[in-house]
Structure 1
Amino acid sequence: MKLKCIIVDDEPLAADLLKSYALQTPFFELIGTYNDAIDALPTINEQGIDVIFLDINMPKINGLEFSKTLPATIKVIFTTAYDQYAIEGFRVNALDYLLKPISYSDFLQAATRASDWFRREDSSSGDSIFIKSGYRVEKLEYDDILYIENQKDYVKFFLEGDKEPVSSLMNIQQLAERLPEQTFMRVHRSFIVNLNKVKTIERNTVVFGKVYIPVSDTYRDNFNKFVEKKFL
């Protein structure tokens, strides 16, 4: 599995060096390089980024503050010339902390740690998922999830019974790639449904009580194949 990564560093020489390292690391797919964290936001929100190599001292917003705004599914590796930030870096759950000048050996060690983390996450996903909701981390059982709706920069998990929906700052495309495809299917750019909970289909819509979820043209063939397999 290739991990999608970006580099955010306002020092051109440091950014170019990290770019060369990422390009020669076979399990990384470099999506972009940015000298400002704000400029990186559209890519983060749209591309399903797994790993960010993030400088700390930058204009507009420093890396430590910026990292606090990121979804829990994105792992941060700080890159900085100042070792006094190390403790704070780990307080915000950074995966690693690289001190400049960074050698490829140090880069590869951090990259391998990221790869190992995602491999363990995939293998231990089981029948539940942990998501960050505000300042809390919540465990959601797959069997409790009816459907998931994209709401701008957030996704909302709608649950069975009287349980309150749970929102998380997360990219729906990245989420769809991580959920087990035998259980969940994206039926619209804004919706993922739990296939085990689909009981009523009406005119290209999935019905959950009073909620009607459209099945768009992009995903209709896959959804129809699922339905056909269930016919007697």
Structure 2
Amino acid sequence: MSTFKITCVIVDDEPMALNLVESYVAKTPFLELKKKCSSAIEALEFIKNEPVDLLFLDIQMPDLSGIAFSKMVPKETRIIFTTAFDQYAIEGFKVEALDYLLKPFDYAEFLEAANKANKWFSLTKGNQQSNVSDEKDFLFVKSEYKQLRIKLDDVLYFESLKDYIKIYLKDNPKPILTLMSLKSLEEELPNTKFMRVHRSFIVSLKNIEVIERSQIIINKQRITVSEQYKTDFLEFVNNNSFNS
């Protein structure tokens, strides 16, 4: 499975339904909730400024229906409809919804629909990211008034230090110090080679020497995998483990 998160918005005018889907999203590791909205108009305003991957969208709502709203969202944003009325199923599939959940639905049904979305994004978004990572094998970073070319294969790990980042390299006893945020760096790095495992650390996956409980050892440095990043890291370990 892919290590990226699918960003999503929940849209429903019923507070109980809104809260139920929110609880389902919270227990699904590959979903990241950006906002819950009580109307399609509120959701439309939000995604204009912050596009998301997926909408969990009620159909029958006042002012603007889910079907009408679905025709206004960017084509990159996919939809899973949630409704109490099964007569909308054909209309839902006409607008190429990924799935259609009929209320009341339980977590197993929700997860089945979410997994369809995960497979779809693994084929599209995952391929795009892997293409980028194939092209990028170095970064230019500013350090001491110079632009240094850093080969990504030489990087052991990155450590955040307030507004700066320390870059630890093979065969280089002193780290390189550069003014940059760890978040902006994470967006530039190929996700097939690097993973954030702590709010202060991004590690080179190929340079991990030992994993001991919740710690990674790289070049004698122990780095703790925090709870926030543990799910993705364990998925990486499981996908690359040999079990006899």
Give the structure-1-normalised TM-score.
0.54
Change (3 A) 1:124 1:102: same
* Bigger Rg, which one: 2
Matched, 1:5 2:26: no
The 1:77/1:9 distance shift into structure 2, 3 A limit, reads: same
Task: Tell me the residue number matched to 1:49.
Answer: 52
Paired residue for 1:23?
26
**One-letter code of the match for 2:14?**
E
CA contact (8 A) 2:6 2:54 kept: yes
Once the two structures are superposed, residues 50-75 of structure 1 have per-residue CA deviations (whole angstroms, 9 ceiling, x without a partner) of 00000000011100011011111001
> Which residue of structure 2 lines up, in the alignment, with residue 153 of structure 1?
none
- Whether 1:101 aligns to 2:53 is no
* 1:153-188 Cα deviation digits (max 9, x unpaired): xxxxxxxxxxxxxxxxxxxxxxxx8983748xxxxx
CA distance in 2, matches of 1:178, 1:54: 30
Q: Is residue 71 of structure 1 aligned with residue 74 of structure 2?
A: yes
Aligned residue-pair number: 135
TM-score (normalizing by structure 2): 0.51
The Cα shift of 1:20 comes to 0.4
Counterparts of 1:67-216 in structure 2 under 5 Å? 67-125=70-128, 180=132, 182=135
Distance 1:46 1:178 in 2: 26
Is 1:59 aligned with 2:62?
A: yes
Percent of residue pairs identical: 48
Divergent runs of 4+, >4 A? none
What is the rounded CA distance, in whole Å, between the counterparts of 2:58 and 2:105 in structure 1? Answer: 12
Q: Distance in 2 between matches of 1:179 and 1:85?
A: 38
C-alpha distance in 1, partners of 2:126/2:38? 35
Tell me which amino acid in the other structure corresponds to 2:117: A
For the Cα contact (< 8 Å) 2:44–2:73, is it kept in 1?
no
Among candidates 38, 41, 47, match of residue 38 of structure 1: 41
The answer (yes or no) to whether the contact 2:80–2:97 under 8 Å persists in 1 is yes
Question: How far apart, CA to CA, are the structure 1 residues paired with 2:65 and 2:114?
Answer: 22
Cα distance in structure 1, aligned partners of 2:75 and 2:130: 13
Contact 2:13 2:61 in 1 (8 A): yes
Residue type at the aligned position of 1:109 = E
More deviation in 43-52 or 77-86? 43-52
Unaligned runs of 5+ in 2: 137-179, 186-244
Note the C-alpha offset of 1:14: 0.6
Superimposed CA distance per residue, residues 121-178 of structure 1 (whole angstroms, 9 cap, x where no aligned partner): 13555xxxxxxxxxxxxxxxxxxxxxxxxxxxxxxxxxxxxxxxxxxxxxxxxxxx89
* Secondary structure in structure 2 of the residue aligned to 1:180: helix
d(CA) in 2 for partners of 1:21 and 1:123? Answer: 23
